[in-house]
Structure 1
């Protein structure tokens, strides 16, 4: 990247943004404050017009949502922009406890001055796909929570039902929305109509068997819990419809963008599906932002935390200071490739044979997978099956490991 003589730091809040422009850390060109409004945006642009546009580079912290419209405005007007992780800017803060928006803008400008050569040419990344996948992820979490509530309620209202059928088939959910307990089913007539319209998973249960099951149930009469169950079923059906809509939105976005090739590259690894690939790309953005795979690992918060004192140096757990959404999708991808991909499954099994616990073994797979994904995306090459190991006759214990871990830690993996 070329050297820019004007470095502009912006501290953004909900109603205003503070600006500090410098030529170097000891030379302030101007400091101003603007309203977070169309007039404020225009006034800021007019202030910058005093300098050649190609001489200006602008940086701001990621604020979740408040910075997005300003960032989009500046980018659409051809200003070179970068967004910093707040942790990066924090390292440039002084030891003084004084903290104001004006000082924060100056610190961001100073950080920009020192980090200018580390900023990639494509620092502005479209956030729309990230918004979609994070909203989808939120829907998945809500679905998992609602399903948990349904299972708890059924354990009281009709505890025998879950043992004999899939309670989330269209048939059973439709039936429970009308007859939400064993007591209600005992009094119900013409249950055959529900089983004749099953459009979900097939079930071995029929109206006669269901009636017999309800008549022999230990469930008592809980009228309020029945009403709550009905509301939970309605919420689940609504969330499932939303999930389908977000899936369509993701595919439509990818078809209209330039990341289809990257999705093909990622999905060439057996065990990685389109949804996982889109989630990964939405969080990572342009892979060229990371000059080495180690920086990508640090961005994910998967680098080890280090405690050093004198000659003593101890590596602890992963730092978890990076992108939590990305860590979650990488974990799910690692679990999937161990199940479906012989190359990664062999690596996982070797770690287990070395006595490494399940969670640490999967984390080793996460690191190996991340290095592989980084290399593939940088080189624009698909997964090379020639590097995969030959088929092993050994039976792996991964299924047992994952079931045991999920049972102990209540990890939710629904939706991927």
Structure 2
């Protein structure tokens, strides 16, 4: 696409600065606008009218501040790209000037666009809410893990014998502890009350009877901990709330996948044994559109799994991953890699071979993650399903994937 005008936007909480330059990098305007309807309208009116297709707008990713502005512009048929702040920071270092202002930052973005717009990948903005849901689910999952960790520590103090005997995360046991959060409280409860709680819950029944719980409480070493009892009861209530929230978010996540027409991509990922529906949804939410990546190497780099090597003269540093990409995607790819190693013979075989070649466990997993991403990239790009009968073990570690995998 040939662009004649380039706009750099530097966005803060209440204002944004816009710099418009032409293809010769002449500044046509560089000014600040309030981040409200009137400000955005004034900005769009200042742009060359009737030439939307010849204008490219670049905006640096800035937490949540840029979202409404970029969505408004896209909905009004402007071509926009969201830029990685690291790219702009490194580009700005080429200038010897140390001055930093919003006007200078906006101009830097505009100049960067004019020089490198042909190398920028296409953008996908329709998946923003899909990604928000995926990250909210990730956050809720982490909160559940924290609550469970705290819960176990509390039960070890208030009723240690129960923690050693039964799975305390069973719904019936949690309901029991919510009402009677200690051995002392259970000792005072009637056998009928305990039986009613254990029998009224759906799902798997605990491998312990009300009489056995009563007996454990009678001879418990737990002392009097009224504050810990209160905290335990509240923690269980929070845990139930978070688990229900998680279920609701998962439903919304699946609906969002349908809305952006990513169901085929989801089915392609699920065709790889070892990849579950939730991790597949997270993966799609983070990459948004496989067309954004011109090669599997870009996908690997976006996940921050590309190698970072430091060498200077005779010194050679240890090789490690860059971790400069999307940390949410990196977490999902790691989980996917662990699961395909466990459940998919093709990836397990590759993992074991890399270990025999001398790689430690984590590096062997990362090598498998690279192989998995190379395969996923090609499957999604060509809309093909994973075929276990295909010879995948000949895929090289670097390059040549398209020739190793025959899609005919």
Aligned residues: 389
Aligned to 1:397: none
Q: Give TM-score, length-normalised by structure 2.
A: 0.92
Cα distance, 1:75 vs. partner?
0.5
Deviations 1:4-38 (A, max 9, x none): 01011100111111011112464212112111000
Q: What value does the CA root-mean-square deviation take over the aligned residues? A: 1.7
Matched, 1:252 2:252: no
TM-score (norm 1): 0.90
1:296 equivalent in alignment to 2:299: yes
Structure 1 portions without partners, runs of 5+: 391-416
CA positional deviation for 1:388: 6.1
Within 1, Cα distance between the matches of 2:60 and 2:260? Answer: 26
Q: 3-state SS of the aligned residue for 1:180? A: coil
What is the CA-CA distance between 1:121 and the residue it aligns to? 4.0
String of CA shifts for 1:379-409, please: whole Å, max 9, x gaps.
Answer: 111111112689xxxxxxxxxxxxxxxxxxx
Q: Which one of 227, 236, 239 corresponds to residue 239 of structure 2?
A: 236
Aligned counterparts of 2:353 and 2:368: Cα–Cα separation in 1: 11
Residue pairs, 1:42-57, within 5 angstroms: 42-50=41-49, 52-57=51-56
SS state of the match for residue 114, structure 1?
A: helix
Structure 2: 5+ residue runs without aligned partners?
Answer: 394-408
- Matched-pair contact (CA < 8 Å) for 2:25–2:114: no
Once the two structures are superposed, what CA deviation does each residue of 1:115-139 show, in whole Å capped at 9, x if it has no partner? 2112334454530100000011100
Q: Verify: 1:142 aligned to 2:139, yes or no.
A: no
Name the structure 1 match of 2:396. Answer: none
Which aligned pairs between 1:317-328 and structure 2 lie closer than 5 A? 317-328=320-331
> Which string of whole-angstrom CA distances, capped at 9 and with x for unpartnered residues, describes residues 238-257 of structure 1?
10011011011011112222
Distance 1:121 1:294, change over 3 A: closer
Name the residue aligned to 2:400: none
Instruction: Please state whether the residue corresponding to 1:92 is helix, strand or coil.
Output: helix
Report the CA distance between 1:202 and its aligned residue. Answer: 2.4
Residue 195 of structure 1 and its aligned partner are, at CA, apart by: 1.9
Which piece of structure 1 moves more, 357-366 or 308-317?
A: 308-317
Q: What secondary structure, in the 3-state scheme, does the structure 1 residue paired with 2:176 have?
A: helix
Q: 1:307 to 1:25 in 2, by over 3 A?
A: farther
Structure 1 segments (4+ residues) deviating >4 Å: 310-315
Deviations 1:294-351 (CA, angstroms, capped at 9, x unpaired): 1111111111112233576656211111100011011111111111111111111222
Cα distance in 2 for partners of 1:359, 1:315 equals 14
Q: Is the 8 A contact 1:342 1:389 kept in 2?
A: no
The match for 1:268 is 271
Distance 1:255 1:377 in 2: 16
What's the CA shift string for 1:181-216, capped at 9, x where partnerless? 111111110221122213132221110111111122
Give the conservation status (yes or no) of the 8 Å contact 1:9–1:106: yes
Partner of 1:201: 204
**2:80 matched residue in structure 1:** 81
CA distance in 2, matches of 1:246, 1:206: 35
Counterpart in the other structure of 1:36: 35
Q: Aligned partners of 1:386, 1:260: CA distance in 2, in Å?
A: 24
Deviation at residue 69 of structure 1 after TM alignment: 0.5
Match of 1:196, SS state, is helix
Q: Determine if contact 1:83/1:123 at 8 Å carries over to the other structure.
A: no
